[in-house]
Chain A
């Protein structure tokens, strides 16, 4: 097991290096640079000498391989560099947004798990009844509706309903308050994106739970448990659900990793100052330094999540042993 863990950890290095090469060169293959955007992007007169000076100050005039080694070297020295747009350290820019993105990801995952596991299980147990049909329709709708559209509908719905009921339209706050400062204000802002993304995310997990449960419920050991007169509740909870959870855990974990950096549109809809919005802003400003570090962060999150999931499998299913 330990040998497996070490091997997996070592394998992360070439994966990250490959990603770094791709991210670095693909970003620079796109026309334009942050100085063009900064000085010419507003339509005001942009002195070519000023643009050159800006490029020099940002180190964009140096050969690409020098810039690449500086980028990768930052991982060894612990200095990830500064944002080319704001001049602030990248660790500061990312750290500032990470708390919000992590909180939304956790809340959306909770919403998703709370919806998906009970609904998927009930749907499987009551297969082909009206309950099953309702749950399936609910989950298919969740897959079909983009979370950003649901977000827009939630905001519009809140505005219209509150205006009709209370005479004054209300919408969730658009600036972030830490849960440690004002938990209620924090919740009133983040619950809506958590519902919008959690619902979509639950839809996939519900369908996965249902199909995994249906498969497990047809296994011999479930029939044996029923034959020996075990309570149905115990059969479902102890024998069926735990064994059906393997694919569900995989889906939930991958979605969780995606939620941390991938809520690009939903964060825009709810004006959340998270990693997804930072990603969009940095791409829009052609902030190479920040964009490449954000991309690497997402790569790292996915690699680590997959690794943790693999280890989690062993706990869920004692038959799985890594060598």
Chain B
């Protein structure tokens, strides 16, 4: 436990350091000012309004401010992966009882939906019933996150109880997912489970005003918001802009003050050069990792020696230095988000194939393995996604890295729909780019990506040893046991079997107008988007 606490402390310090790596002035000591409209740009489209159903940040950024969550990542400390606080619940976060299988939450009184309906525990239960146990025909994108949940109930008007089938370290993270918007039971009962796809009624800091599809979403301040004194803004306008150049110029030209997803390093430098101290930059590690997936059904990638050779040839430590100047990647890490208490230390990482400090030794071993497997100097096709940042940039770097062990690699780039069809249906690839992008940092849930049985693992393999380690991990409530099991899992997935390989973790860069205050960068573009603590410094406008 001591080890875990020390790791939490280090993570918190690292997080704070990252969050404060700002070019402009810090805002912590300033008193928030009320008023003003925040204009921001969003690079993705809104499919439906139902957060329970959708997976894109194009829903989160413009619509999350209309809703509240039962619990959320602390908006004043979003860098911490473990600092969850109550939003609609009351007081400190509930500690589990009954051996870690029961979570009881007291619900705030006096909270009202925007249509005036009072919020009770029944609304929370109805919301989570929809997310975890949706009726037949009703989609729920994250119900598998709650595999450990047995039931959700409301023993009293303001008490909610979650009963788990087994204790799980993944539960709180799943509960704090930013898509778990609280809906009114009345809306669900009277209008059905699809009503929220086209209608909005939440308890969030802002009230829906209008949505012009493809153009913008507008919200105005909700006077009855349950966090006293908030929100500070009078309203906001989320302007849709699919092209990065438009979003960048919009901030430069004053049409928008911020973009919450992130820009590449060059864009940050251009903005800072053009606007100087009128721009503040916040940077952070990003809970997205770029990976490669060999197709285990295709020879010679069914041979672990060949897969190990592929990962051994990648100079991650050197690549981090150069690629971070041109792409949205930076940090070298294992299966767990870097800096998280469950993540591998640098020393632990350097024992894994492909992370050795001596790249020449690593490449010599890669060549030996290829020779031993009888495929030295082989050719293959690398399948990549037709998106520049960071896929094509990193893909091109990887091809060069593989060339250094004598491999001849060509690249097949496909637009997103065809790329996914290849991975999921056609499976006619040899080695493919892949990625693992998550909202809340919830390592025990996030690392399922490396399991052959996972729906989003496209390697077509079975690894019973890895599955067994994971099943023990999922059912472990003890942090030290979790740490031990995760290291075994990491070694098995990335080294012994090299069933998939991580390249670099993404790096989030948010340059914004310096008058935007209160918003703190999180390690995910899905997090901390309710905007209730954001304010505008009128002196800087």
- List the B side residues contacting A176 at CB < 8 Å: 212, 215
- List the B side residues contacting A38 at CB < 8 Å: 47, 54-56
How long is the Cα–Cα vector from A170 to B253 in the complex, in angstroms?
5
The answer to whether A43 touches B437, judged by C-beta atoms less than 8 angstroms apart, is yes
Q: Is A59 an interface residue (CB 8 A)?
A: no
Q: Is A79 an interface residue (CB 8 A)?
A: no
The answer to whether B253 touches A273, judged by C-beta atoms less than 8 angstroms apart, is no
Q: Is B280 an interface residue (CB 8 A)?
A: no
CB neighbors of A among B32-46 (8 A): 41, 45-46
- List the B side residues contacting A30 at CB < 8 Å: 417-418
How long is the Cα–Cα vector from A277 to B144 in the complex, in angstroms?
35
How long is the Cα–Cα vector from A301 to B418 in the complex, in angstroms?
30
The answer to whether A50 touches B253, judged by C-beta atoms less than 8 angstroms apart, is no
The answer to whether A31 touches B454, judged by C-beta atoms less than 8 angstroms apart, is no
- List the A side residues contacting B455 at CB < 8 Å: 45-48
Bitwise interface map of A from 141 to 184 toward B, beta carbon under 8 Å scored 1, else 0: 00000000000100110110001000011110111100000000
Q: Is A74 an interface residue (CB 8 A)?
A: no
Number of A-B contacts (CB under 8 A): 163
Known: A38-B54, A48-B455, A88-B198. A171 touches B253 (CB 8 A): yes
The answer to whether A44 touches B55, judged by C-beta atoms less than 8 angstroms apart, is yes
How long is the Cα–Cα vector from A281 to B214 in the complex, in angstroms?
9
The answer to whether A96 touches B213, judged by C-beta atoms less than 8 angstroms apart, is yes
Q: Is A224 an interface residue (CB 8 A)?
A: no
Of B121-129, B244-252, B373-381, B396-404, the stretch lying at the interface with chain A is: B244-252
The answer to whether A97 touches B198, judged by C-beta atoms less than 8 angstroms apart, is no
CB distance from A233 to the nearest CB of B (A): 46
How long is the Cα–Cα vector from A271 to B216 in the complex, in angstroms?
11
CB neighbors of B among A5-61 (8 A): 30-33, 36-48, 50, 53-54, 56-57
- List the A side residues contacting B250 at CB < 8 Å: 171, 174, 271
Residue of B nearest to A158 (CB): B253
Bitwise interface map of B from 18 to 60 toward A, beta carbon under 8 Å scored 1, else 0: 0000000000000000000000010001111000001111000
- List the A side residues contacting B254 at CB < 8 Å: 168-171
Q: Is A278 an interface residue (CB 8 A)?
A: yes
The answer to whether B214 touches A97, judged by C-beta atoms less than 8 angstroms apart, is yes
The answer to whether B425 touches A45, judged by C-beta atoms less than 8 angstroms apart, is no
Q: Is A269 an interface residue (CB 8 A)?
A: yes
- List the A side residues contacting B253 at CB < 8 Å: 155, 158-159, 169-171
Name the contact of A96 in the complex, choosing from B41, B214, B249, B448 (C-beta under 8 A): B214
The answer to whether B420 touches A32, judged by C-beta atoms less than 8 angstroms apart, is yes
Bitwise interface map of A from 96 to 113 toward B, beta carbon under 8 Å scored 1, else 0: 110000000000000000
CB neighbors of B among A264-318 (8 A): 268-271, 273, 277-278, 280-281, 284-286
The answer to whether A36 touches B420, judged by C-beta atoms less than 8 angstroms apart, is yes
- List the B side residues contacting A86 at CB < 8 Å: 46-48, 213
- List the B side residues contacting A277 at CB < 8 Å: 214, 242
- List the B side residues contacting A280 at CB < 8 Å: 242
Q: Is A85 an interface residue (CB 8 A)?
A: yes
Known: A171-B249, A174-B246, A175-B215. A87 touches B421 (CB 8 A): no
The answer to whether A85 touches B420, judged by C-beta atoms less than 8 angstroms apart, is no
The answer to whether B422 touches A31, judged by C-beta atoms less than 8 angstroms apart, is yes
CB distance from A196 to the nearest CB of B (A): 14
- List the B side residues contacting A54 at CB < 8 Å: 139
Name the contact of B141 in the complex, choosing from A37, A39, A271, A286 (C-beta under 8 A): A39
Q: Is B436 an interface residue (CB 8 A)?
A: yes
Q: Is B243 an interface residue (CB 8 A)?
A: yes
Q: Is B475 an interface residue (CB 8 A)?
A: no
How long is the Cα–Cα vector from A158 to B437 in the complex, in angstroms?
37
The answer to whether B246 touches A271, judged by C-beta atoms less than 8 angstroms apart, is yes
The answer to whether B144 touches A45, judged by C-beta atoms less than 8 angstroms apart, is yes
Q: Is B240 an interface residue (CB 8 A)?
A: yes
Name the contact of A268 in the complex, choosing from B140, B242, B288, B436 (C-beta under 8 A): B242
Residue of B nearest to A40 (CB): B420
CB neighbors of A among B108-133 (8 A): none
Q: Is B473 an interface residue (CB 8 A)?
A: no
Q: Is B92 an interface residue (CB 8 A)?
A: no
- List the A side residues contacting B245 at CB < 8 Å: 152, 269
Residue of A nearest to B215 (CB): A273
- List the A side residues contacting B420 at CB < 8 Å: 32, 36-37, 40-41
The answer to whether A50 touches B140, judged by C-beta atoms less than 8 angstroms apart, is yes
How long is the Cα–Cα vector from A47 to B140 in the complex, in angstroms?
9
Bitwise interface map of B from 417 to 443 toward A, beta carbon under 8 Å scored 1, else 0: 110111011100000001111110000
The answer to whether B425 touches A31, judged by C-beta atoms less than 8 angstroms apart, is yes
Residue of A nearest to B416 (CB): A41
- List the A side residues contacting B47 at CB < 8 Å: 38, 85-87, 285
The answer to whether A50 touches B139, judged by C-beta atoms less than 8 angstroms apart, is yes
- List the B side residues contacting A31 at CB < 8 Å: 417-418, 421-422, 425-426
Residue of A nearest to B253 (CB): A171
- List the A side residues contacting B140 at CB < 8 Å: 50
- List the A side residues contacting B141 at CB < 8 Å: 39, 44, 46-47, 50
Q: Is B137 an interface residue (CB 8 A)?
A: yes
The answer to whether B241 touches A43, judged by C-beta atoms less than 8 angstroms apart, is no
Name the contact of B198 in the complex, choosing from A40, A87, A152, A269 (C-beta under 8 A): A87
Which of B254, B416, B417 gathers the greatest number of chain A CB atoms within 10 Å? Answer: B417
How long is the Cα–Cα vector from A54 to B434 in the complex, in angstroms?
23
Known: A47-B455, A271-B241. A281 touches B45 (CB 8 A): yes
Q: Is B297 an interface residue (CB 8 A)?
A: no
Residue of B nearest to A44 (CB): B55
The answer to whether A53 touches B139, judged by C-beta atoms less than 8 angstroms apart, is yes
How long is the Cα–Cα vector from A159 to B255 in the complex, in angstroms?
12
The answer to whether B417 touches A174, judged by C-beta atoms less than 8 angstroms apart, is no
How long is the Cα–Cα vector from A129 to B442 in the complex, in angstroms?
74
How long is the Cα–Cα vector from A10 to B425 in the complex, in angstroms?
43
How long is the Cα–Cα vector from A88 to B48 in the complex, in angstroms?
9
Q: Is B256 an interface residue (CB 8 A)?
A: yes
The answer to whether B249 touches A173, judged by C-beta atoms less than 8 angstroms apart, is no
Known: A44-B55, A87-B198. A273 touches B417 (CB 8 A): no
Residue of B nearest to A31 (CB): B421
CB distance from A137 to the nearest CB of B (A): 29
CB neighbors of A among B356-389 (8 A): none
- List the B side residues contacting A159 at CB < 8 Å: 249, 252-253, 274
How long is the Cα–Cα vector from A106 to B254 in the complex, in angstroms?
29
Known: A44-B55, A175-B239. A87 touches B274 (CB 8 A): no
Q: Give the interface of B toward A (CB within 8 A).
A: 41, 45-48, 54-57, 137, 139-145, 197-198, 212-216, 237, 239-243, 245-246, 249-250, 252-256, 274-275, 288, 415-418, 420-422, 424-426, 434-439, 448-449, 454-456
The 5 closest A-B pairs by CB, nearest first: A171-B253, A31-B421, A32-B417, A43-B437, A32-B421
A-B contact pairs, 26 of them (CB 8 A): A31-B417, A31-B421, A31-B422, A36-B420, A37-B417, A40-B424, A41-B56, A43-B434, A44-B55, A44-B142, A44-B437, A44-B456, A45-B449, A47-B141, A56-B137, A57-B137, A86-B46, A156-B249, A159-B253, A174-B239, A174-B241, A175-B215, A271-B239, A273-B212, A273-B240, A286-B417
Given contacts A32-B417, A45-B454, A87-B48, 4 further A-B contacts (CB under 8 A): A87-B47, A173-B255, A273-B240, A285-B47
